Structure 1
Amino acid sequence: MSQNERPEDIVRQEKAQLDFARDMTYGDYLHLDEVLGAQHPMSPEHNEMLFIIQHQTSELWMKLMLHELRAAIANVAADRLQPAFKMLARVSKIMEQLVHAWDVLATMTPPEYSALRPYLARSSGFQSYQYRQIEFLLGNKNAAMLKPHAHRADLLAQVQSAYEAPSLYDEALRLLARNGLDVPADYLERDWTQPYQSSAAVEAAWLTVYRDTDRYWALYQLGEKLTDLEDAFRLWRFRHVTTVERVIGFKRGTGGTSGVDYLRRMLEVVLFPEIWKLRTDL
């Protein structure tokens, strides 16, 4: 405060700065009325708010994950690896965030979940069209997973687009080939809807990268970013399994799946098999 400023003048200035009547506010920018008004419990159970917010926030993180993942794939396809690395690192961090989110849901006990479960009908995370796109963009293609979205043409179109597009790993292999590495031609142009099959020739190409990191430094970094990504994804899947088993045991899922048994089978899926196998062969 200067010698000529009076305390009442400072208070008046601060009040003026706190007047947002004519400006865009924090709530306006984030559309908080819509976001915070989107929780509509269907049961009288106190714990349903936790259940709703857990899944809504997960879907928001998945929206960002898809935003980053699609951009990373496009950058790999265009040989712009530095921005792709940043995006892939961010996707891995989002997955870490989602891993810790299960800790909050795990505070729901079996009796608490059983009390609200009848109100869920057949709604299930199995029907998450954003999660399915993430699986497809990471290469876990399965035509049967289109069916849960067939009732909404707009959602099916989004999932179908990811199903038919080259995955992140498909574009990584194309990148290896553009850098002179010997990737089989039928791995560079194929039916992208088919599940990826591991290849000894593809592993040999990655081994060349990992045995000469000075020459192939950018490709080596890409291999490690893919490793980080799958590592985080495995932890996310594992924490999902343990949380579901903790809360509902081995009951069937609300969407008709076998519940924990189905989720455990998903733990066996390897997205980037040659990058994991080469560690044994180096």
Structure 2
Amino acid sequence: MDPSKSLTYTSYLKVKELLELQQPESEPEEHDEMLFIIIHQVYELWFKQILHEFDKLRVDLEAGKTWSSAKTLRRVLTILKTMVSQIDVLETMTPLEFNSFRGFLQNASGFQSVQFREMEIICGMRSPHVINVHESQPDLQQNLLDREKESTLWESFCAYLQKRGYNIKIPERANEQGLVHNPSEYNQTKLVEIMKDDPEAALLCELLVDYDEGLMEWRYRHVKMVERTIGTKRGTGGSDGSKYLRQTLNNPIFPDLWAIRAKF
């Protein structure tokens, strides 16, 4: 092997290429734009990792693998907490500092994050508007359409319960807007029995609730960060800013697991 081509920390992680990806648009360059870029690039990397974990999680659930599924869910939960904590860093930037380069962002908006939309789709969320936003980028739009054909987390979890011998119904996809599955009183009755009698399955139920709660926490912190930075102004790219984000709060992706809390 040519010693000059041996693997190093720098070459393995593509550090040189990575550090060239932060390219501020402001002229003259505003100091805080670098932080803004890095934070959002890191978010995209975490989204990529969560999607990677979701791909494994759904396969393991459908194969009935309890502990592998639990381990993956715990990893995703830890990543989610890290993502929430990154908002603390972003909030060190004042409204004046953000406004100093906001105009240079033109139509770029976090609303356009395809990977986050992929996460939402896997969680069971549907929005034709989100698909249509990417009409000018058919390859990205296709990513979302392909994700819509895949199993949702809830479908995979119901398949897991069937694998364990429970007469759980795989939910029908009833909605084109919002949560694709409707709550099921039949499944809720079965879930109460499972929570009482099957500690392993109950553990996964609680981890899914942890994820659902963590996602709502992420949305809440995101809303408050936007409100303290731009107030009620419209977001970049013409989005509704905090008004739109507030509409996404308190929308659980596993409503059956929340409903059974009142049935014990």
TM-score by length of 2: 0.92
Take 2:31 and 2:61, find their aligned partners in 1: how far apart are those partners?
Answer: 46
List aligned pairs for 1:170-181, cutoff 5 A.
170-181=155-166
Matched, 1:148 2:133: yes
Aligned counterpart for 2:116 among listed residues 125, 131, 156: 131
The one-letter code sitting in structure 2 at the alignment partner of 1:253 is G
1:167-189 alpha-carbon deviations (Å, 9 max, x no partner): 0011112222333333346x2x5
Matched, 1:29 2:17: no
Aligned counterpart for 1:107 among listed residues 58, 69, 92: 92
Question: RMSD between aligned alpha carbons?
Answer: 1.7
Take 2:84 and 2:169, find their aligned partners in 1: how far apart are those partners?
Answer: 36
From the superposition, tell whether residues 193 and 175 of structure 1 become closer, same or farther in structure 2 (CA, over 3 Å): farther
The one-letter code sitting in structure 2 at the alignment partner of 1:245 is E
Take 1:190 and 1:230, find their aligned partners in 2: how far apart are those partners?
Answer: 19
Take 1:71 and 1:105, find their aligned partners in 2: how far apart are those partners?
Answer: 31
Match of 2:195 in 1: 210
Residues paired across the two proteins, number: 258
The one-letter code sitting in structure 2 at the alignment partner of 1:256 is G
Aligned counterpart for 1:87 among listed residues 69, 72, 89: 72
Match of 1:11 in 2: none
Take 1:206 and 1:266, find their aligned partners in 2: how far apart are those partners?
Answer: 26
Matched, 1:71 2:53: no
The alpha carbon displacement at 1:193 in A equals 6.0
Q: Point out where structure 1 has 5 or more consecutive residues left out of the alignment.
A: 1-19
SS of the counterpart of 2:234? Answer: coil
The one-letter code sitting in structure 1 at the alignment partner of 2:207 is K
The one-letter code sitting in structure 1 at the alignment partner of 2:210 is D
The one-letter code sitting in structure 1 at the alignment partner of 2:217 is L
The alpha carbon displacement at 1:164 in A equals 2.3
Take 1:184 and 1:98, find their aligned partners in 2: how far apart are those partners?
Answer: 34
From the superposition, tell whether residues 182 and 106 of structure 1 become closer, same or farther in structure 2 (CA, over 3 Å): same
Aligned counterpart for 2:21 among listed residues 38, 50, 56: 38
The alpha carbon displacement at 1:190 in A equals 4.4
Match of 1:224 in 2: 206
Take 1:121 and 1:278, find their aligned partners in 2: how far apart are those partners?
Answer: 46
- CA contact 1:72–1:88 (8 Å) conserved in 2: yes
SS of the counterpart of 1:149? Answer: coil
The alpha carbon displacement at 1:272 in A equals 0.4
How much identity, in percent, do the aligned residues show? Answer: 36
Take 2:111 and 2:212, find their aligned partners in 1: how far apart are those partners?
Answer: 20
From the superposition, tell whether residues 181 and 192 of structure 1 become closer, same or farther in structure 2 (CA, over 3 Å): farther
Match of 2:243 in 1: 261
Mean Cα displacement is larger for which, 171-180 or 201-210? 171-180
1:121-144 alpha-carbon deviations (Å, 9 max, x no partner): 111010000000001111112222
Aligned counterpart for 2:185 among listed residues 189, 192, 200: 200
Q: Point out where structure 2 has 5 or more consecutive residues left out of the alignment.
A: none
From the superposition, tell whether residues 261 and 108 of structure 1 become closer, same or farther in structure 2 (CA, over 3 Å): same
Mean Cα displacement is larger for which, 49-58 or 191-200? 191-200
